[in-house]
Amino acid sequence: MRYVCSACGFVYDEELGAPEKGIAPGTKFEDLPDDFTCDWCGLDKTAFVKE
């Protein structure tokens, strides 16, 4: 699944993860840490919507 930040359009792709933040490929969006933020605008997980 892919999730898009509704504010800026940044995409979190579960298949790719976010290695730069220590999040392994295959990590589901719901399993992201509570302090996960958008790489581009800094908003929290609540700003993301399923693509």
What whole-number distance in Å separates Cα of residue 5 and Cα of residue 45? 8
Q: Extract long-range pairs of 11-19: CB within 8 Å, 24+ residues apart.
A: 11/51, 12/48
What whole-number distance in Å separates Cα of residue 30 and Cα of residue 36? 11
Q: What CATH number is attached to the domain comprising 23? A: 2.20.28.10
Total domains present in the chain? 1
pLDDT digits (tens, 9 = 90+) for 1-51: 999 999 999 999 999 999 999 999 999 999 999 999 999 999 999 999 999
35 is in which domain, residue-wise? Answer: 2-50
Strand partners of residue 4: 11, 49
